[in-house]
Amino acid sequence: MIQQRRLTPAAMVAVLFALFWVLVTALPFFFMFMTSFKTQPELFQSGSVFALPDALYFGNYIEILTGRFFMYLRNSIIVCSLAVVVLLIISSMASYVFSRLKFRMNAVLFSVVIACMAIPIHATLIPVFILTRDIGLYDQPLALVGPYIAFNIPVSVFVLTGFMKTIPVELEESAEIDGASKVRTFLSIIMPLAIPGLATLAIYNGINMWNEFIYALVLTSSVQSRTLPLAIWEYQGQYGVNIPMVMTILALSVMPMIIAFLILQERLIKGMMVGAVKG
Amino acid sequence: MIGGKSTTLDARRKHSTATIAAVFLLPVAFFLFVYLFRSIFHMFQLSGYSWSGISRTRDFIGWGNWQRLLNDQNFFNAIGNNLIMVFACLAIQIPVGLLLAYIVDWANRRFKSLKLVYFLPLLMSAVAIGFLFKQLYDARFGLIGVMLGWFMDIPFNVLSNEQTALWAVIAVICWQFIPFYMLYFFAGLTTIPEELYEASIIDGAKRHQYIFRVSLPLISGVIKNASILCLVGSLKYFDLIYVMTEGGPAGATELMATYMYKTAFTQMRMGYGATVSSGMFIIITIISLATFKIMSMNFRRGGKIT
């Protein structure tokens, strides 16, 4: 044990690499926040990008927060919360069927749903765009809800079915002997016990939808209906060369995630790793 | 008499099971049908037309679009870039992720927050990362651009140079995804019981012997799965590339997805865009199915969250 404490050359290299990677990870964030507190002339005139800001300048933040930022934020919140809630409800219903009910087509239907994980969702971009336009949802936040639900069904059903299989059946059996119907056991026994799985999935799907870009780009076109990832896109076009302003938008857009990370920590990490089952 | 009654009960139970299954599966079936199955069908159907997407009329041209696709240099260039990206990402993300996982595992008892620091890039969306690094690569006002300038005679923006753009973008993709693979491998490492390490040390193994002879073989399944995720994921990149370069300069970073998007929505050639999309769908599906087949054993076991 004492022998292990001595630093071998290999361990030295490991420590150096660990520190190097801390820099690689943190420097872009540091640069982003640092630059967001500079004014544009300050960045252009000072000789070095490494210079710290002269003073904490909040003008960039004020300009963006008094603009349309909250409209984008509101759209993102509406789309994501609606899609996550509907997705989790319908996925739990399907997972209950796959994990509990015995009928002939069960395994086949389950494989069909799971096989959808292999579909590259970009391939559906053109048809979904045409469909959205034809049913009159084009350029409304609601247009995004349907695709967001559909694309996340396979992973959610896969994970929830696995989770529900780990819930012991004895509870339901005794409830059924007491005369409870299948719908009743689903609502009052399975669903409460599935909450940890649902929470993890809510995090995973919520983050996915929060960051989704290409469908939001194609299915909406006006400011009133665009979500946060598009806000970055549009501010970039608007401010272009104003680097501190662009950095401010980036900083603001990552802020909700950093707050969520500070609150949830391990829970959030676990939620994001659900993606590991996805192909 | 009793036998007869029990069969009707059984039949009734079967009947009610079927009803509940149908009702409970209906919403999921609806969404999958409308947005996935119908879309795939519609995409292949559209690939036979020449259509701007706006005009009321569209001309059926049969295999015309497909013939053009097979002779389309831009599409094959995009496939080539996609393949370079697949191999580069596999060669960089998996080893670095593995190395970091070992470092985090080793440091975990003393310095827990290391993992949380390494996790940071996963908090940013691909769009935000794309814009951030686009600025960082700026030769005059970007952190990386200025640092790269120290090693160049005439500083230039690596994103606007045909030779360097693809590698500049790959570096950013690695920055974005290495933390994911690190966490994935770390999760694998934590499933190895502590006793195994103690036993190997007692048997006289050095740390590197333990790593190469005991723990790496134990997580080989995890490494295999991660490689498959990385491979299939690399075929689908869009957001980050589109934000950083829009496929440019001169197609140097064009991928199948960006080419499809630009054909359909920038040039407004929906019919041909659908053909590009179908080609991409076929390529990715074949590779995904082949890899799913390989990992099917691990796949069945998955879907557990504790």
What are the φ and ψ backbone dihedral angles of A219, each rounded to 5 degrees?
-90, -10
pTM comes to: 0.87
Element (H, E) at A267: helix A266-273
Residue B116 CB coordination number (10 Å) = 14
Gap between the Cα atoms of B146 and A48, Å rounded: 9
Looking up tokens 């080539």 gives B80
CB B143 within 8 A of CB A269: no
A161 in helix, strand or coil? helix
B50 in helix, strand or coil? strand
Q: State the pLDDT at residue B247.
A: 83
ipTM of the complex: 0.88
Q: Name which of A21, A214, A273 is nearest B239 (Cβ-Cβ).
A: A214
Q: What's the gap between Cα B210 and its chain centre?
A: 32
Average pLDDT, chain B: 85
The model's pLDDT over B115-167, given as tens digits with 9 standing for 90+, comes to: 888 888 988 989 999 999 988 888 778 888 888 888 877 778 888 888 889 99
Min CA distance, B162 vs chain A (Å)? 22
Q: State both tokens at A61.
A: 């933040």
Q: What's the gap between Cα B226 and its chain centre?
A: 10
The model's confidence at residue B1, banded by pLDDT at 50, 70 and 90, is: very low
Q: Would you give the DSSP letter of residue A123?
A: G
CB B48 within 8 A of CB B61: yes
User: Residue B249 contacts by C-beta under 8 Å, 6 or more apart in sequence?
Assistant: B160, B161, B162, B165
The model's confidence at residue B299, banded by pLDDT at 50, 70 and 90, is: very low
Element (H, E) at B60: strand B59-60
- Alpha helix (H) residue ranges in B32-63: 38-46
* Chain A residues close to B277, C-beta within 8 Å: 122-123, 125-126
Residue B14 pLDDT more than 80?
A: no
The proportion of chain A whose per-residue pLDDT surpasses 70, expressed as a percent, equals 94
Decide if B143 and A14 are in contact by the 8 Å CB cutoff. Answer: no
What are the φ and ψ backbone dihedral angles of B49, each rounded to 5 degrees?
-115, 155
The model's pLDDT over A68-100, given as tens digits with 9 standing for 90+, comes to: 888 999 999 999 999 999 999 999 999 999 998
The model's pLDDT over B36-66, given as tens digits with 9 standing for 90+, comes to: 999 999 999 988 888 887 777 788 888 888 9
* Chain B residues close to A94, C-beta within 8 Å: 24-25, 27-28
Q: State both tokens at B205.
A: 């193994």
Best CA proximity match to B260, nearest among A233, A126, A117 = A126
Q: State the pLDDT at residue B305.
A: 40
Cα→Cα distances B29→A94, A125, B25, B56, B250, Å: 9, 19, 6, 31, 43
Gap between the Cα atoms of A180 and A191, Å rounded: 15
Gap between the Cα atoms of A148 and A212, Å rounded: 9
Chain A residues 103-142 with CB within 8 Å of chain B: 103, 106, 109, 113, 116, 118-120, 122-131
